[in-house]
Structures are given as C-alpha cells and as structure tokens.
Amino acid sequence: MHSGSPRNVTLVLGGVRSGKSRYALQLAAGAQSVTFLATAEHRDDEEMRRKIDRHRAERPQHWTTLEESLNLASAIQLMGKSDLLLVDCLTLYAGKLLEVHGADPSSMIANIDAFCTALIEPPCSVVLVSNEVGSGVVPEFELGRRYRDLLGEINQRVAAIADHVVLMVAGLPLAIKGSVTTEARI
C-alpha cells in the first residue's frame, strides 16, 4: 500500500471453516478500539441466524458493531474513531452486489471502485475476511459462475491494495503477501 503508513490493510482468505474469521479476530484483539463491520443480513434462514449469533458470541462485547452489506466505502470512511476495522466478510458483500446490481454491471463496478478507493487511504487499519472460491468445482449454473468470478475479482483488487494477504489452510496462516502475525498492525 503506502510505505511508512501506520495504517495497514490485511486480507485474510480461505475456504469454508479454514479459520479465517478466528484468525481475523486474533489480529483485531490487539487493537485498542475495534469496529466490526458485519456484511451478513438477518433473514428468515435459521442456519444463518445461528451463524450470526455464534459470530457475535465470539467477539468482545466492547467492540462496536456496524451492519452494512453493500456500501462498504461509506462504512470505511466513517471509521476515524476506531484503531481497527474488521470486515467479515467480502463473500457476502459479493452476493449482495449481485442481488442489488446484478442487472447493472456499471453500478456494480462503481460500488467496487468506491470500496477499493476507500481502502487505499483508510482512516484506520483494516482487516478483511473473504472466501477463496476459485479452487473448487466450476459451478453448474450461470449465476454461480458469475458469483465466483465477481468474488475472485474483488479478492484480486483488494489483494493488490493490501499490505498483507494471508491464506488460511486448516487453521494455519500462510503469508501470500507481506507477513503473518497474530497481532493487529495499527
């Protein structure tokens, strides 16, 4: 990103149940003040409600929680009072982009552009969590392929901006760019 800046951007990638959220929580635990940006939305899906409840229980209660599924650029720009912003996760953000802007690719790209621009000079350090979905089977349906491709593009763009990119495999962090640590880089 930018040398000498006290603010760092870290992207944590991995498959389902690879330990990426747990690792991101470890990174954020070292910061004085943390804002957790949740991209999951409450729905009538019991499994998703249980997952949201589990994630809430895993993070410290003194952290500020912000729920935003689509306008991540604005959320990042509002983080001046926190030392660290933890975004969990870009996987759901990509799904929301397709849901809202899927028929209008230019709006989708504008949203992603604004998000990436906000990451270039963030007001605080940022840790982002995302799934790595490009290593699996090619989805049978066109919407699944569009989703896989969109998330892959978002991950590539964020990785290009990030100071550190960590790939989680079986609960182990592997440095792809920068270095691996267990403490927040603020």
Active-site option among 2, 42, 55, 62: 55
55 is catalytic: yes
**Please, which residues have CB within 8 angstroms of residue 154's CB and are 6 or more apart in sequence?**
90, 93, 94, 112, 130
As given in the structure block, the two tokens for residue 125 are 């350090």
Where does the chain show beta strands of DSSP type E?
A: 9-14, 34-38, 64-67, 84-88, 125-131, 164-169, 172-177
Please give the Cα distance from 179 to 105 (Å, whole number): 35
Which residues are the active-site residues? 55
